Amino acid sequence: MKFTSKNSNKIILLLVCFFVTKIQAQLGFCNGNSGDPIFEETFGTGTTNGPQLPAGTTTYNFTNGAPNDGDYTISSSTAYYDWHDTQDHTPNDTNGKSLIVNADFIAGEFYRTTISGLCENTSYEFSSWLINLLPSSGCGGTGIPINVKFEIWDNTDTNLLASGDTGDIFASATPIWQEYGLVFQTLPNQTSIILKMINNGVGGCGNDLAIDDIVFKTCGDFITITDNLNNTNVSICEDQTPFSTVLTANPDFSIYTAHVYQWQQSTDGINWTDIAGETNQTFATPALINSTYYRVKVAEDVINLSNALCNSLSEVFEILIVPKPNSPISNGDVTNCDNETQPISVTIPNDVIVNWYDAAIGGNLLLQNSTSFQTNTAGVYYAEAVSNVANCISDFRTAITINFYQSPLVFDEELTFCENEQITLFSNVVNVTYLWSTGAITPEITVDEPGIYTVEVTNSNDCSSLKTITLSQIDTPIIENISSEGSSIIVATSNTGDFEYSLNGNIYQSSNIFLAVEGGLYTVYVRERNGCGIVTQDILHFVIPIFFTPNGDNKNDSFDLKGIEYFSTSEVFIFDRYGKLLKSSKNSTFAWDGTFNNQKLPTSDYWYVIKIDSTEFRGHFTLKR
């Protein structure tokens, strides 16, 4: 085959197209800065279907009703068949419409449109929103998914610039709009392209879709602007002006392979003007005394730089000149009592913070970023305003004074008083006013109930203190029971306290048990140690000895039943082990010396029967020689 220059040009063009097609063969969005839309198709609004698409846009048939396979409609309602009933995608419109398509039985193109007014050698982003109208339950859960191919062709319809498939979009339980996009680049001398949408699936049960918001935008590099310190914005206090710096545009080369520049400036960040002659990648600002915004227009070709449809814009670099804040506004000097914590405070605008110092100039930083300051030390304190942006400091600090008055000195008390008595509670403070928790306004009160009592005392500076008196009652003893157990007397009280016990009213013990007490009539005394009452009760203590030793040593020489004479009736019988009656007595004192008929009986156990009033005691005791 012979190659001519003409053939060579065709081959080069084909290689370029093949390369571009390969590069843009997948769906995706612009990774850099997108411009404003240069083409939008939202399919309008209204409650009636239509209008039909222009001739040549589709090979499908228009219908006013439910579209069959190979039909389409343009409607604000998708409530056909068992499809999802959902609104269109376009934000904030009323009765917005979308293109509703029931795919043909044969796969193929169902939508095309020509986009004009583009710039040559320029990158663009195409995007569109799609939805599968079939719910998950449709077609018995086996509905055909939608699958759409997007293609971008040159205006001759011979060079494919970019293409991509959505892949299968399956039915869903709820309606879900999804966005898809392509990035492509126009060829030299090319200002229009053809968009095609192709149905990759086939007709049948399913493959029903809606399309909305077809948009074309310019696509350029993501471009930041930095200064020589790599800042992306600068805030300067007004006392540091005039200020100037050198800015640099930094494209990321995600889209463009070459760059031409035009720097712009603005005083409000909204309205922009070109800076004459500033077409380099760097720009030295003039000496600034007012806030100014800078950005740069960028294109791949100088011919596109002046056309808003063909260039992209960088991020904005803001040089903010921040005025010094006014000094904080004092909320007034404060006088506290020494037991109060009211702070001093100031008022400032929202964009300012306050730092507190102990001197008008210099001094020690006491507290940062607070509109109030709390202290227990009297004195003058100073509030300094600092702007949130650029940390600009007010020229002067605001002085605020805080003073303290002394509150009355009080001491809490815990007191006790005796049951059925009264006690006087004292505030123990003079030259003040009084307010007791009982409502009394006297220096002291007399009470007869336990509890917690308070008195608020207030001096001439209107400073108050609260004294708390905890008053506990000491109960008088209450004898519940006195029992005689063997030779012991046991006293039980029905209440508790610091009690002591006595059998004669003179000698007291802390134990409630009296040990080794001879039988007899006794008076038991129980008294509260703090002097809060004494109670008495008589007891007839009757003791039956368990042995006696009649050996003439005057110790335990007889079997003596002391106190038996105090009972109204009594009988005593002593027997030997064979049941022989040795001694008896009735209604009198009783003591046996261990003899029978003046004969000393031997060491042995002897038995007794003792009847006292209506009670009978039987047992034995030991006689030891």
pLDDT digit string (tens) for 291-302?
999 999 998 888
> In sequence order, which residues have a C-beta less than 8 Å from that of residue 404 and are 6 or more positions away?
335, 336, 337, 338, 376, 378
Cα separation, 262 vs 266, whole angstroms: 14
Q: Helix (H, G, I), strand (E, B), or coil: what is residue 19?
A: helix
Confidence category of residue 460, pLDDT binned at 50, 70, 90? very high
Task: Characterize the bridge pairing of strands 547-548 and 615-623.
Answer: parallel
CA angle 498, 516, 566 (to 5 degrees): 95
> In sequence order, which residues have a C-beta less than 8 Å from that of residue 598 and are 6 or more positions away?
none
The answer to whether 217 touches 124, Cβ cutoff 8 Å, is: yes
Residue 20 has pLDDT above 70, yes or no: no
For 532-561, the pLDDT digits (tens) are: 999 999 998 989 998 999 988 888 899 999
Q: How many CA atoms, within 13 angstroms, populate the side-chain half-sphere of residue 121?
A: 14
Residue 600: how many CB atoms within 10 A of its CB? 11
> In sequence order, which residues have a C-beta less than 8 Å from that of residue 203 and are 6 or more positions away?
69, 70, 102, 103, 104, 105, 106, 144
Cα separation, 211 vs 131, whole angstroms: 7
- Report pLDDT for 289: 95
Task: Characterize the bridge pairing of strands 282-284 and 246-251.
Answer: antiparallel
Cα separation, 577 vs 437, whole angstroms: 78
Q: Compute the average pLDDT of residues 445-458.
A: 97
Residue 202: how many CB atoms within 10 A of its CB? 16
Percent of the chain with pLDDT over 90: 79
> In sequence order, which residues have a C-beta less than 8 Å from that of residue 204 and are 6 or more positions away?
69, 105, 144
Beta bridge partners of 294: 265, 317
The answer to whether 218 touches 127, Cβ cutoff 8 Å, is: no
For 201-236, the pLDDT digits (tens) are: 877 899 999 999 999 988 888 999 999 999 999 999
- Report pLDDT for 19: 34
Handedness of CA 7, 11, 16, 20 (dihedral sign): positive
Backbone angles phi, psi at 66, to 5 degrees: -70, 125
Structural domains of the chain, with CATH: 5-220 (2.60.120.260), 223-322 (2.60.40.10), 329-405 (2.60.40.10), 413-474 (2.60.40.10), 479-541 (2.60.40), 547-623 (2.60.40)
Taking the chain, what is the end-to-end CA distance rounded to the nearest angstrom?
157
Confidence category of residue 143, pLDDT binned at 50, 70, 90? very high
Confidence category of residue 43, pLDDT binned at 50, 70, 90? very high
The encoded tokens of residue 588 equal 């009198």
- Report pLDDT for 123: 84
- C-alpha 193, offset from chain centre: 56
The answer to whether 521 touches 407, Cβ cutoff 8 Å, is: no
Cα separation, 484 vs 540, whole angstroms: 8
Residue 22 has pLDDT above 70, yes or no: no
Residue 6 has pLDDT above 60, yes or no: no
Q: Helix (H, G, I), strand (E, B), or coil: what is residue 522?
A: strand
String of DSSP letters for 444-509: EEEE-S-EEEEEEEE-TTS-EEEEEEEEEEEPPP-EEEEEEETTEEEEEESS-SSEEEESSSSSEE
Task: Reduce the secondary structure of 74-108 to three states and give it as a string.
Answer: EECCCCCCCCCCCCCCCCCCCCECEEEEECCCCCE
Beta bridge partners of 181: 127
Q: Compute the average pLDDT of residues 455-477.
A: 96
Confidence category of residue 164, pLDDT binned at 50, 70, 90? very high
Q: Which of 224-233, 242-251, 557-566 has the lowest mean pLDDT?
A: 557-566
Q: Compute the average pLDDT of residues 403-413.
A: 96
For 252-288, the pLDDT digits (tens) are: 988 888 899 999 999 999 999 999 999 999 999 999 9
The answer to whether 506 touches 473, Cβ cutoff 8 Å, is: no
Residue 379 has pLDDT above 90, yes or no: yes
- Report pLDDT for 12: 30
Cα separation, 208 vs 131, whole angstroms: 9
Handedness of CA 362, 367, 368, 372 (dihedral sign): negative
> In sequence order, which residues have a C-beta less than 8 Å from that of residue 401 and are 6 or more positions away?
333, 334, 344, 379, 380, 381
- Report pLDDT for 120: 80
Confidence category of residue 197, pLDDT binned at 50, 70, 90? very high
Scanning the structure block, which residue is given the tokens 């309008």? 44
Q: Helix (H, G, I), strand (E, B), or coil: what is residue 356?
A: strand
- For 245-397, strand residue ranges (E) read 246-251, 260-266, 273-274, 282-284, 292-299, 312-313, 317-322, 329-330, 334-337, 344-347, 352-357, 365-367, 372-373, 379-387
Cα separation, 527 vs 317, whole angstroms: 94
The answer to whether 618 touches 597, Cβ cutoff 8 Å, is: no
Considering the chain, what is the average pLDDT of its residues?
91
For 70-97, the pLDDT digits (tens) are: 999 999 999 999 999 999 999 999 999 9
What is the DSSP code (8-state) at residue 62?
E
- C-alpha 391, offset from chain centre: 31
The answer to whether 505 touches 540, Cβ cutoff 8 Å, is: no
Residue 14 has pLDDT above 70, yes or no: no
Cα separation, 111 vs 124, whole angstroms: 20
- Report pLDDT for 3: 28
In the chain, the amino acid numbered 162 is A
For 108-142, the pLDDT digits (tens) are: 899 999 999 888 878 889 999 999 999 999 999 99
Nearest to 250 by CA among 296, 285, 284: 296
